[in-house]
Amino acid sequence: MPGVYFHWPFCRKKCPYCDFFTTFPFPDLVEAYYGAVLQELNNYSELDQEVTSVYFGGGTPSLLSASRLDRILQTLYSRFKLHPKAEITLEANPENLTRERLNDYFKLGINRLSLGAQSFADSELATLGRGHRAGRVEHIIKQARELGFQNISVDLIFALPRQTLAGWERNLAEVVSLPVEHVSAYCLSWPEKTVFAGKRKKGEFAPLSEDEELAMYRLTQEILAANGFNQYEISSFARSRFRSRHNSLYWENQPCLGLGAGAVSYDGKTRRRNAVPVRKYIKDILHKGSAVDFSETLSPEEKMGEAILLALRTSSGLDKQKYRREFNQCVEQRYRETIASLVKENLLIDTVEALYIPAEKMALADAVIREFL
Ligand code: SF4
């Protein structure tokens, strides 16, 4: 099992653009959830397989106390064999990180921090309903560096309501001036039932035009590349050696164990998903020992489709030889016409080794990928 994911679904307040399932961290609920996650973890023991990546995502995993994180990690070490250089990531909200907590996390073995900065402009942070101010992220990064963190990632969101290209450029200029190894830049989406979607309906907010979004995306690629961040996925940019190993596992369709409410596991054949909301997850773990409420075993055709969809998200694309080894057929056998038509439109590059979307067309990756469905 190369990857293990822990979901910590608690947030102190709901960001107005977010549709992830999250819950307020009522102390009794957090305690019960923590117990359930430990119980779920104890269901597994795969000491024969090396774990290369552990990821604490959410929600807000930086609300996890050091003592609880320690217990989870110790339990994990007793059930799985961890690669000596395993990547251990924790997503963190700059609002609730303290130097003391950062220090504890570092000492416990967290070696990659993923900071939800989202913007470096106070007005944009206010629009996004974030609780921190612009200088806070720089301050946290400085402290993390002093404490020894050598792998820091920053998340940013672009195409915010009323954001200009110049405004987004200032964000990019700020992030490349910071000592970070990785940047994830996401275009704002407008999921239904969020406060943002409501404001859009009432005409208070308007999404930027596709042309404006595209201009921001291209500027992101340009500025990050010029500053040593290589794009390796639609939204991900890294200095050499600092690609997210955990996310790469997903894009390479590798097995990963997901623990916690709503977490998804994949063992190479079957995908399983745990129940939500939090109280149902806890109840199922306590009474049934398992919270799995959905499971599907992929047919060979579905696996082929997924391998393509996931690989085309990355700049290296689909490794044709690997595909042939895994599925015992060439990718052209099944998708000859689709590939030919995308190549003709300059949306896909087809070489002897790989199929990939050229960098200047990466903004259209979702549309290209849909052609394979
Ligand atoms: S902190 Fe993250 S997960 Fe929580 S509400 Fe905000 S965006 Fe969603």
Distance CA 128, CA 161 (A): 9
Predicted confidence at residue 308, as pLDDT, reads: 95
Give the closest residue (by CA) to ligand 1 atom 3: 59
CA–centroid distance, 21 to ligand 1, in Å, is 9
With respect to CATH, is domain 3-251 assigned 3.40.980.10? no
Lining residues, ligand 1, CB within 6 Å: 11, 14-15, 18, 20, 22, 58-60, 93, 116
Q: Which of 11, 95, 128, 184 to mutate to test the pocket of ligand 1 (most atoms within 8 A of CB)?
A: 11
CA–centroid distance, 341 to ligand 1, in Å, is 40
For residue 1, how far is the Cα from the chain centroid? 19
All structural domains of the chain with their residue ranges? 3-251, 317-370
From first to last of the 373 residues of the chain, give the pLDDT tens digit: 799 999 999 999 999 999 999 999 999 999 999 999 999 999 998 767 899 999 999 999 999 999 999 999 999 999 999 999 999 999 999 998 999 999 999 999 999 999 999 999 999 999 999 999 999 999 999 999 999 999 999 999 999 999 999 999 999 999 999 999 999 999 999 999 999 999 999 999 999 999 999 999 999 999 999 999 999 999 999 999 999 999 999 999 999 999 999 999 999 899 999 999 999 999 999 999 999 999 999 999 999 999 999 999 999 999 999 999 999 999 999 999 999 999 999 999 999 999 999 999 999 999 999 999 8
CA–centroid distance, 46 to ligand 1, in Å, is 32
Predicted confidence at residue 373, as pLDDT, reads: 84
Distance CA 212, CA 214 (A): 5
Predicted confidence at residue 49, as pLDDT, reads: 80
Distance CA 119, CA 137 (A): 9
Distance CA 255, CA 177 (A): 36
Predicted confidence at residue 45, as pLDDT, reads: 82
Residue 194 DSSP code: S
Distance CA 171, CA 19 (A): 24
CA–centroid distance, 290 to ligand 1, in Å, is 26
CA–centroid distance, 123 to ligand 1, in Å, is 18
